[in-house]
Amino acid sequence: MKKLLFSLAFFTCLFATNLASASTYKVDEAAVDQLFSASDDVTFTASEEAYALMNPSTQAVTKGDKTVGGYLLRAFFCGEFALHRYYMGTGGKQLFWYYFCIPVVGGVTACVDFWWVVFKGSDAMNKYADNSKFIVWTGN
pLDDT higher than threshold 80 for residue 118:
yes
pTM: 0.52
Going by C-alpha positions, the residue among 137, 134, 139, 140 that lies closest to residue 113 is: 137
d(C-alpha 105, C-alpha 135), whole Å: 11
| Cβ contact 122:104 at 8 Å | no
Query: What average pLDDT does this structure show over 124-132?
Result: 83
Domain ranges in the chain are 68-126
Contact 125, 83 (CB under 8 A): no
Task: Judge whether residue 97 has pLDDT over 70.
Answer: yes
Can you tell me the distance from the alpha carbon of 25 to that of 15, in angstroms, rounded to the nearest whole number?
A: 18
Convert the pLDDT of each residue in 3-51 to its tens digit.
Answer: 777 787 777 766 666 555 556 677 888 988 898 888 877 665 555 555 5
Q: Looking at the predicted structure, is the pLDDT value of residue 68 above 70?
A: yes
The burial class, CB within 10 Å (0-12 / 13-18 / 19+), for 32 is exposed
User: Is 102's pLDDT higher than 70?
Assistant: yes
Alpha carbons 76 and 84: distance in angstroms, whole number: 9
What value does the mean pLDDT of the chain take? 76
